[in-house]
Amino acid sequence: MNIPLAVQCERITKQYRHFQLQDVDLSLEQGTVMGLVGPNGAGKSTILRIIMGLLGPDAGSVKVLGHSMPDHQIAAKRNIGFIAEDMRLYESQTIDFHMGFLKSIFDSWDDEYAATLLRRFDLIREQKVKGLSHGQRVKTTLMLALARRPNLLVFDEPTTGLDPAVRKEVLDEMMNALEEETRSILFSSHNTLDIEQISDYITFIYGGRIIESKNKEDFLDDWRRLRLTNMHSSQLPNLPNIKDAQQSGQLCTVTVYDFDDTIPKEFTNAGLSVDSIERLTLEEIFLSNVNFAKGNMNKDLTL
Amino acid sequence: MSTSIIPQLVKKDFLLMRKVIFISIALSIFSTGVITQLIGEIPDWTLVNIGILFLLAPVFACGFMLMMFTNVHEKEKSTQPFIMSLPVTVREFTFAKLLFNLSVFSTMWVAVSAVALYICFGLGLFPLGTFPFITIVLLGIYAAYTCGLGISLLFQSTGITILAMVIFEVSTSASLWTIAYMKPIANHIYGANPVWNSTAITIVTVQVLIVIFAIVATLFIQNRKRDFI
């Protein structure tokens, strides 16, 4: 059965003077969470802004909740809750002012849920935005995004700059938001722990390209680190799966992807002994991916 | 469910700016009181100069502050992503900004113009021959404001908006002085009846066209923007 897509990007391209987003394909199924991971300047915010209709792609197509963007953004945005790291509320106004403003726009605004979130986040309605800490501001924008009960949540770096306690509160509430089966979340972060914690799908972005995008479990299953002893200074087998290899004396550490049970045998056959096979954390997978992509891009440039 | 949130955006800007608007109205009323006290105390043309300054300063200051706070600060203070995450297009956003700013400024401009015209002609300070020139002065100020409003929306930059307002103000003053000394206008300023000759009509038409052009061009250019954040 085909699960309807909350977001569908096909070959989107966006050219800036010093940066190019290249042929980005991205699909987010309804009811799932996708985390976009990438270093600063990788293109995460650009992708999310194109998805929100705030930037127009030079080429390619974007559909959000079945609506073509940016042409039908009004219909789409009625069902999207968006938070961006650089998004600010009106400093001179209270939280209540913002709640009233959004309530006047969204028929779906849920007063009861908003009150629950205010209590849960320890926010005071009458407090002015300029008096809020960074964490309280993020929680306020999250409350404003959630209380309108959108089908899709698009969060650009929602946890950046938050202390661990507030970060947990924000992530917990994002998880709670998924109780509604049709609600989807697309969010970006530098923090692979956040991504690992709540995402069903993970997309790695580097240099304006999507390096890899798949199910979280597949990501974690695919990658292994092999610790080897190379007693006879043997050549490593020429496997396409090897993403990284480092040798120190007789000890050798090899990072491989698309791991299966035949790979250790290849090393054994080549005269190396396999001491241990370890799973990688998402952060390690991300760094290996980025290093590999960086190497490939440098190779492209020299060619 | 209404499909456009323009009324909510206009109301939001009014709530954000209501203090500025009320203070400007209070200052305009105060200025009117000062001017009426000066009638007969100082020469008529001095009264006109001081009167225009006193009456229009709060209106112009209000218009300038509104365009800075609602248009420029929206971008510079990063509240624009919040607004643009709502079900609104760039065209509607621009329309809401123009509607709010023009409504407030126009209301105050009409009120102040009515007071100015009453003081000049209702109290018999000037002959009716001055009416075309006073109309040109008032329309010139409105045209300069409209151009500034368009620039503030198109660039959303403090520096560019201030520079544009200074340029529009200086050129408006220069053009009004030039107009005052143009023979077809100057020859009738002290006449008993207003003379709407072709020069006066052309100037007023150009001023009205500048206002229309500033609004239409702003909407047109904004509507063509593909990136709006």
Q: Which of A99, A84, A94, A188 is nearest to A148 (CA)?
A: A99
Which pLDDT tens digit goes with each residue over A222-275? Answer: 899 999 998 888 888 888 888 888 888 889 999 998 888 889 999 999 888 999
| Closest A-chain CA to B6 | A105
Phi, then psi, of A260 in degrees rounded to 5: -145, 175
pLDDT band at A302 (very low <50, low <70, confident <90, very high): low
Residue A87 has pLDDT above 90, yes or no: yes
Name the nearest CA neighbour of B28 among B88, B108, B84, B95: B108
If you average pLDDT over every residue of chain B, what do you get? 92
In this complex, is the C-beta atom of B107 within 8 Å of any C-beta atom belonging to chain A?
no
Nearest CA in chain B to A108: B1
Residue of B nearest to A76 (CA): B87
Distance, in Å, from the CA atom of B108 to the CA atom of B130, rounded to the nearest integer, reads 22
Give the mutation candidate from A52, A62, A71, A77 for the B interface (greatest B CB count, under 10 A).
A77
Chain B CB contacts of A107 below 8 Å: 1
Q: Which residues of A are less than 8 Å from B12 in CB distance?
A: 101
pTM over 0.90: no
- Please tell me if residue A292 touches chain B, with a CB cutoff of 8 Å: no
Residue B19: C-alpha distances to residues B16, B56, B173 (Å): 8, 18, 29
pLDDT at B2 over 80: no
Pick from B1, B81, B228: CB nearest A87:
B81
Give the model's pLDDT for residue A93. Answer: 97
**Are the Cβ atoms of B81 and A90 closer than 8 angstroms?**
no
Which residues make Cβ contacts (< 8 Å) with residue B177, sequence separation at least 6? none
The shortest C-alpha distance from A122 to chain B (Å) reads 22
Inter-chain Cβ pairs, chain A and chain B, closer than 8 A: 66
Token pair 């300069």 is found at B144
Q: Does A17 touch chain B (CB under 8 A)?
A: no
Examine the pLDDT at A49 and tell me if it is beyond 90.
yes
Q: Which of A78, A84, A90 sits opposite B81 (nearest CB)?
A: A84
How far is residue A53 from each of residues A209, B170, B173, measured CA to CA in Å?
A: 20, 40, 43
Q: Is B17 on the interface with A (CB under 8 A)?
A: no
Q: Name the pLDDT band for B1 (thresholds 50, 70, 90).
A: very low
CB of A90 within 8 Å of any CB in chain B? yes
Could B86 and A92 be called an inter-chain contact, meaning their C-beta atoms sit closer than 8 Å? no
Asked if B16 lies within 8 A of A82 by C-beta distance, the reply is no
Cβ-count burial A278-288 (b if 16+ within 10 Å, e if not): eebebebbbbb
ipTM computed for the complex:
0.89
Of A151, A258, A156, the C-alpha closest to A214 is A258
